[in-house]
Amino acid sequence: MNQIEFALRVFAALAVVLVATTLCGRLAMLVKQPRVVGEMVAGVLLGPALLGAVAPGVQADLFPADVKDVLYVLSTIGLTFYMFLVGASLDHGLAGGRNVRRASVLAVSGIVPTFLLGAGAAALFFDSLSPGGGSLWEFMLYVGGALSITAFPMLARILEERGIANTPIGGLTLVASAIDDAAAWVILAVIIAVGTAGGPLDALDTVAGAAVFAALMLTVGRRLLRALGERVERAGRMSRDVMALVLLLVLAAGWFTDHIGVFSVFGGFITGLAMPQSAIVRRELTTRLTDLNSILLLPVFFAFSGLNTEVSGFGAGGALWRPLAVITAVAFAGKYLGCAAVVRCQGFPWRYASAVGGLMNARGLMILIFINIGLAHGLVTSELFAILVAVAILTTAAAMPIYRASLPDGMDRAEAGPVPPPVVAPNARG
């Protein structure tokens, strides 16, 4: 195959991905679900679940191994810049005083029970779902960490659309989900370091490298980038050269963290956190990067995830239904009960507690990133991958119905006393 023929095959694959994810995203919104739910489903439908079952020849022609390699590279670039935008969108003003203390308690209340229940479920199914050569504790750490994630960017968009991002319950949930995601990336970094290095002591270099990188970016890097922010503020826009510098920083950070064994999304996220807290900088980054990233590159990631999702174990009498039911139950119960209990103890009515428990259960894009990284590093089997994709879709799809049932329209805006206004993530994924 010559280069022109190969390019045509890549273009065809991208076109199919774009059409499928756009249509499914629109359908999801028609039934009052976040767009990301439809896009996740579209990715699965392009894999063995539908296209591979009804037209295996078409799927093989559309997504041969070399085209899948290109999709992997594009999706990795998209994920790195997506996490950069997520980090850049976080409002540091929210992380202060009583607000962050209460949010930290809420985040821990969702992470700890879910992690423990997920680790217990992992121990239960270790023999049937773990990859060969891995230890029990690594498998438990991975599954527990994956289930502990909350989709911060999607929650940010939901809260903004409902007009409650600046209310006490909205601000509390938003900060808690951001803390939740940051903790998940730390857990994942440790898991990958240990899994690829062979043991905790061998992983010290990787963990230390990630810690030093984060510390330097959030201290020295932030001070240097402050001058960039001041330049953009004076000009009222981001010049082409400044934008090129920002893109170079994200790519370099992604390369470095990938090189030391953590993964490029960690580098993108930390670089985003180091960006100046400037409304103009955020506006320029969102305007220039969001559309291409969210409309094309992230859907490529959903398609790549779907192509890796084997559904043969979900047939009649399939062996994956029992672990799917158990893992979904512990994933939901850990987040919902833990978060709802803490919100109630913090003085909010039960309706608000239930609403927060439902929202914190939304895992969205974040868990897909987590499990795809695990798959790339041999930390997860294809069977467990399929189960966790299903958990991602089910828990994300359940978030808004639970929220609406707990707080009918108008009731969620009845609170008084705004918190400092957050800057939300650039799109509804997460």
Spatial distance between the Cα atoms of 304 and 53, rounded to a whole number of angstroms: 17
* Tens of pLDDT, residues 393-409: 999 899 889 988 888 76
| Of 63-72, 213-222, 370-379, minimum mean pLDDT range | 370-379
Q: Which pLDDT score, from 0 to 100, does residue 225 have?
A: 93
Structure token pair of residue 170: 């909205």
Rg (CA), the chain: 21
pLDDT at 426 over 80: no
* Tens of pLDDT, residues 331-379: 999 999 999 999 898 888 898 899 889 988 888 778 888 888 888 878 8
* CA neighbor of 277 nearest in space, from 83, 90, 85: 90
pLDDT, averaged across the chain: 83
Residue with the larger pLDDT of the pair 220 and 171 = 220
pLDDT at 384 over 60: yes
Burial of 326 (0-12, 13-18, 19+ CB in 10 A): middle
Q: Which pLDDT score, from 0 to 100, does residue 315 have?
A: 61
Q: Taking the domain 3-413, which CATH number applies? A: 1.20.1530.20
Spatial distance between the Cα atoms of 70 and 162, rounded to a whole number of angstroms: 38
Q: Which pLDDT score, from 0 to 100, does residue 165 have?
A: 63
Query: Helix or strand or coil: residue 132?
Result: coil
The alpha carbon torsion through 315, 316, 322, 325 (nearest 10 deg) reads: 70
Cβ atoms 142, 374 nearer than 8 A: yes
Contacting residues for 174 by C-beta, under 8 A, at least 6 apart: 94, 103, 152, 155, 156, 159, 165, 422, 424
Residue ranges per domain, the chain?
A: 3-413
Q: Which pLDDT score, from 0 to 100, does residue 419 have?
A: 39
Residue 46 pLDDT grade (very low, low, confident, very high; cuts 50, 70, 90)? very high
Spatial distance between the Cα atoms of 306 and 5, rounded to a whole number of angstroms: 24
CA 410 to chain centre: 29
* Tens of pLDDT, residues 248-269: 999 999 999 888 877 788 889 8
The stretch 25-40 carries a mean pLDDT of 89
What percent of the chain is modeled with pLDDT above 70?
Answer: 84
The alpha carbon torsion through 374, 380, 382, 383 (nearest 10 deg) reads: -130
